[in-house]
A and B are shown apart, each in its own frame.
Chain A
Amino acid sequence: MTSDHIRKSFSILFVLIFFAYLFGPLIIMSLTAFNSSSFPRVTPWECFSVEWFEFLTKDQKLIEGLQNSVFIGLGVVCLAVPMGLAGALMLTQVRERVRPWYYTITISPILVPGVVLGISTLLFWDRVGTMFGASRESVFYNGFFLTIIGQATFISAYTMLVFISRLQRFDRVQEEAALDLGATHVQTFRKILLPFLKPAIASAAVLAFLASFENYNTTVFTIVSESTLTTFLAAKVRHGINPSISALAVVIVVLTLLGAALHEAFKRRELAAEKESARVAKGEQKSRGAQSRFLFDPTVIMILLIFTAGLGTAYFAGTIGLDECKTEVLAEKRRIVQERIKKRQQKTMFQDAGRQALTPLTQEEIKKRQAAPGTSNFQGLFSPENLEEQVGTSKEETQDAPGRAGTENFQSIFAPRNLEEQVGSEEQKQSE
């Protein structure tokens, strides 16, 4: 009884930990997208805001990268789906003994590191280009071309797996039946096999697009002078991040969830339809409304409603009252800073008093030091994180509230991160 209890709670605990491990990072990151703080973080929570989403829409390079990613994704779909299909069909044709070999070879690109694929694509097409004496502007050196070709090498192996699993459920006798009824081989393919493969084609296309969209390892080599979303993000992270990246992630996560939910609804519908037809075959009455259009399906409507409602709520909550909140937070920060300044003044005076008249500082000099922390506190300046922060935040502040920027020297003080750094280094200095 008790051991049973323990075991039960233990397994629940395990599941909780597992889910926390899986989804914890995603949840935290999603939250940071709604915090008005200029660094992605949850604490201290400042204001609930959707401004990072707006910020996202204004980032021209990001939009461009996104467009490129979509373009490349579509290109990869156009290439990888037919290639995967051909590969899978070929597998059904080759002789039994050759089959394992064929299979291993065709899926091997999945096992090759993406980096290797990227480099080899680049080198190979460079060779080809040189052979034809093509110019640097030609297609062989075009980032889009190379990326589509390079990604398709392994993504077509993914799509092939999708097709193989679908083909395994195909009753080949149907093809014979079609032939027997006078269909040509082409007609048999078009009218029998292709309709059967339709769901697999859709799955393979989605899979290929997603795999292309999120790819970095191969793309970073093949993209040459262009950029995709992933390469842009990676480059951006190197220069310091702000919550707009979280916002982008939230968009992607929400779209994924939405897609998954719709897919699930669709699948359940198919299942219900199958059951229904089995029931009808048994001679039972056909239940009404079982075959409504997909878009009028209650589940689908619910999902779309919830999605829209969530979107609306987030938007209003994130824009209404944002300015007041920000002013409050700012006032709060100012207060804290003032307090710290006071404290520090006292400390400095105390220290100065301790040092006596060795190097007496005038009241004015003290003030100057406090006003420009960068110059008075060299430790803080050389901490690289602090440096980026300072640059980043000063930009933000000027953008957000140009009126406030009147006292230019104070800007960086108000960036909380910077403040902490300063205090930190101050403390460090004392302990030394």
Chain B
Amino acid sequence: MSADVQLNDVWIRFGDFVAARDVNIHIQEGEFFSFLGPSGCGKTTLLRAVSGFLDPSEGQVLIGGKDMAGIGPNKRPTALIFQNLALFPLMTVWENIAFSLEVKGIGKEERRKKANELLELIALPDQGEKMVNELSGGQKQRVAIARALAAEPDVLLLDEPLSALDLKLRQHMRTELRAIQQRVGITFIYITHDQGEALTMSDHVAVMSQGVIQQVADGSTIYDHPETAFVASFVGENNMFSGKITEVSEEYAVVETPSGMLRARRTKGKGGSLHRGDEAFVFIRPESLKFVNGSAFDNRVNANIKQQEFEGSFWQVFFDVEGNNRTVKLSMVNDGSTLPHEVGDRVELGFSADVAIATPAGELAAE
């Protein structure tokens, strides 16, 4: 059975509140797919609709091409790793792992064997007899994964599984999760509010905001070619200039901002509708912003240096820019030379139109 997951025109409502709005997503079999979005944007809700704990108010959930309507969570080929893990505290580690086999009526001998295999897989051999709360956070995490894998799901759903771990463990578990996914070869649907996790692990990322899917793409596309103002500002760091569109062409748009006329590549797809006179934003990444040293730039703005921070391999420089009340940031690689300017200096900053993005203001317009 193939195990691609499709969400077709899915709406999920709680009373008047819309938790998911017209979601259309196609997740291929065997891929590592992430939902990325701030807390409360509806990620868990979507996942629960896939695992069968709630039915969408409208639309369909298809797994392997089969409509899942009316099929309960215990009948779906999915396994969910809960945000708080939900291990069974009254069972030992191996009983936890073998629970899905136990409810199928498989004998103890075989359950034991399978549990040991999985303990091997998650690198916790000989820990099977322990009680769950005798394990550390990272170990619990791995037991939860093993328990879900024991059910031999076609799709593994993970709800912010690393959020409770400390930074170092989190980074270690990222690689481990990715490795496990490649070893077992099943579809992983991963939820996170941490862009680092989403970008490093996933084949595809869906960025979500307030129940709406903003963009679905691979990590580098999301970073380099954000389609909406939300994606541009949520993923990675970005400097933002707001203004009105004065000119639109096939590839570029010109935005009139208090800091000056700014020319930038226009967004494609969902955020593509730019018209003259519309409210718009221009985004430029800190690493794409340069000091103007005689070289030619499509865009220039005047700025005062507010602060300079040394971060080993990088210098971070912060500016007050004329006509923009947000602090603008520039980062440059530390190549051993000293910084050309000092705090308080008045400088000119430039960037090319090709590295800047113009998006409709959209939902961020109010800010």
Contacts and interface: CB of A to CB of B under 8 A. Distances in A.
A187 B88 contact: no
Interface stretch (A171-179, A249-257, A308-316, A396-404): A171-179
Interface string B131-157: 101111000000000011011000000
Interface of A: 171, 173-174, 176-184, 187, 191-192, 195-196, 274, 277-278, 280-283
A277 B136 CA distance: 11
A179 B74 contact: yes
B166 to A, nearest CB: 14
Given A173-B84, A277-B131, A281-B133, A181 B79 contact: yes
Contact of B104 (A182, A192, A277, A280): A182
A184 to B, nearest CB: 6
B90 interface: yes
A22 B44 CA distance: 55
Interface in B46-85: 51-53, 72-74, 78-80, 82, 84
A187 B86 contact: no
Decide if the interface of chain A is mainly helix, strand, loop or mixed: helix
Interface of B: 51-53, 72-74, 78-80, 82, 84, 86-88, 90, 99-100, 102-104, 130-131, 133-136, 147-148, 150-151
B103 A191 contact: yes
* Closest 5 pairs (CB-CB, A-B): A177-B86, A181-B100, A183-B103, A173-B86, A280-B134
A69 B90 CA distance: 36
Contacts of B82: 173, 176-177
Contact of B74 (A171, A173, A182, A283): A182
B103 A181 contact: yes
Contact of B102 (A191, A278, A281): A191
Given A178-B88, A180-B73, A180-B78, 12 more contacts: A176-B53, A177-B88, A178-B99, A178-B103, A180-B51, A181-B79, A183-B100, A184-B74, A191-B99, A277-B133, A281-B133, A281-B134
A183 B104 CA distance: 8
A193 to B, nearest CB: 11
Contact of B99 (A181, A274, A280): A181
Contacts of B150: 181
Given A173-B84, A174-B88, A191-B102, A180 B79 contact: yes
B151 to A, nearest CB: 5
Nearest to A276: B134
Contacts of B104: 182
A182 B151 contact: yes
A111 B349 CA distance: 79
Contacts of A278: 133
A187 B52 CA distance: 18
Nearest to B131: A277
Contacts of A176: 53, 73, 80, 82, 86
B232 to A, nearest CB: 35
A137 B100 CA distance: 53
Contacts of B87: 177
Nearest to A190: B103
B61 to A, nearest CB: 15
A196 B89 CA distance: 9
16 contacts: A171-B84, A176-B53, A176-B80, A177-B80, A177-B87, A179-B72, A180-B73, A180-B78, A181-B103, A181-B147, A181-B151, A191-B99, A191-B102, A191-B103, A278-B133, A282-B136
A315 B80 CA distance: 64
Given A177-B82, A180-B78, A182-B151, A195 B73 contact: no
A176 B79 CA distance: 11
Nearest to B98: A181
A182 B131 contact: no
Contacts of A179: 72-74
Contacts of B100: 181-183
A180 B74 contact: yes
Contacts of B136: 281-283
A180 B131 CA distance: 21
